Structures are given as C-alpha cells and as structure tokens.
Amino acid sequence: MATVTKKELIDHIAEATKQKRVVVKQIIQSFLDQIILELGRGNRLEFRDFGVFEVKLRKARRAQNPKTLEPVEVPPKRTVKFKVGRLMKETLGDVGPDAPGAGAAATPASEAQQPPA
C-alpha cells in the first residue's frame, strides 16, 4: 500500500482538471483549513457519499505508565471521528486477508461504475 502525499494529490488534480498547480494547491489548502476551522468550532462536517467528520469528547480516565506502572490521570480531550460514507464503503469493499483484491489498490468509484466500452 502506497502513501499519497498532499503534493501528489495536488499534481493529480491539476493534471485531471487542466488547472495550474498553484491554483489547485490554494484550493486544496483552503478546503483543508476550512475543515480544521469548522471542526475546531465543534461543527459536524457531512460530505454525501464520502463520509462524516465529527468532534467527540473523550472522557477523563485513569491509565498506567508503561515504564513505572504507576497510575496516571489522563484529562478529557476532543478528538475527531470519521464515519465512512456509502460510496467510499462500496469502493473499498470488504477486504479481509483472503478476500479478492486484498492488498491491491481500490479502483476509484468513477471507474468502477462505468459500463464496459
């Protein structure tokens, strides 16, 4: 499984849309900044078929220091939960250790739903 960086994603989008890389970079960065801002405000972000980002509050808890084995109080904190949307779920499918395509890259939904030529 390969890691795709933001730079690579920007390059792919710029090529696919025939837009200048700098314009795509500004749009992507603005989009990501807006997501962070909205989540910081505690808002829920819903992208139909893609998924939902939600801020959840984790309760304070008692943990254990693995070195000293002493109990440690962990304060409450906010975290982001992502729930996969329908289209992404369909695209990813059920990939278990013995499922077809395990370890292979998923086919984008736009390609997967096109009828044969």
CATH code: domain of residue 67? 4.10.520.10
The reply to whether 85 falls in a domain is: yes
Asked whether residue 39 falls in the same domain as residue 54, the answer is no
Over residues 37-47, mean pLDDT: 95
Q: Which residue has the tokens 């909205």?
A: 38
Provide the pLDDT for residue 115.
44
Residue 98: the pLDDT is 58
Range of the domain at 29: 1-43
Residue 36: both structure tokens together:
């962070």
Q: Are residues 24 and 61 in the same domain?
A: no
* Pairwise CA distance, residues 97 & 113, whole Å: 25
Pick from 27, 54, 28: nearest CA to 39: 54
- The proportion of the chain whose per-residue pLDDT surpasses 90, expressed as a percent, equals 73
Max intra-chain CA distance, the chain: 65
Our count of domains for the chain comes to 2
